[in-house]
């Protein structure tokens, strides 16, 4: 699963059923990140929310019996409505903000994506 080249790893969370969410932050614009994933994944994806903008890309087939969530990439604009960006809770007392967050949910280990 491709990750935007300058994105910084923030953390990961247990999603259940052998899957994890991986969060990455970047100060590239939402539009630039969506364009990157359209090219890298060779698909348009889907704008699922306009306000705040959230764009999703499927990267594998969802198997309800073995997966908690569909494998995919979700891109969210954290500057919408004048927000200063996503505050990274793991960046120390000064904090670090990201304009755009990328959430990656790969298929569980040992499964075939498509």
The reply to whether 28 falls in a domain is: yes
For residue 16, what are the β-bridge partners?
19
Is 95 inside any structural domain? Answer: yes
Does some domain include residue 32?
yes
Q: Is there a domain that residue 110 lies in?
A: no
Q: Tell me, what's the pLDDT at 48?
A: 97
CB 97 within 8 A of CB 88: yes
| Domain span holding position 91 | 8-105
Entry pTM: 0.89
**Mean pLDDT, consecutive 10-residue segments, the chain of 114 residues?**
95 87 96 98 96 94 78 96 93 88 83 46
Q: What is the pLDDT of residue 113?
A: 43
Count of domains in the chain?
1
In a domain, 17, yes or no: yes
Is residue 64 a part of any domain in this protein? yes
Residue 111 has what pLDDT? 53
Indicate whether 74 belongs to any domain: yes
Distance separating alpha carbons of residues 66 and 10, to the nearest angstrom: 26
pLDDT at 39: 97
1, part of any domain: no
What is the structure's pLDDT at 109? 63
């Amino acid at each position: 699963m491709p990750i935007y080249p300058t994105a910084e790893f923030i953390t990961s969370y247990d999603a259940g059923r052998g899957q994890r969410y991986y969060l990455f932050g970047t100060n590239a614009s939402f539009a630039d990140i969506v364009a990157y994933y359209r090219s890298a994944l060779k698909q348009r994806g889907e704008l699922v929310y306009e306000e705040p903008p959230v764009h999703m890309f499927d990267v594998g087939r969802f198997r309800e019996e073995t997966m908690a969530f569909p494998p995919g990439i979700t891109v969210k604009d954290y500057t919408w409505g004048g927000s200063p960006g996503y505050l990274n809770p793991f960046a120390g007392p000064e904090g670090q903000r990201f304009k755009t967050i990328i959430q990656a949910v790969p298929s569980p280990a040992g499964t075939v994506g498509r």
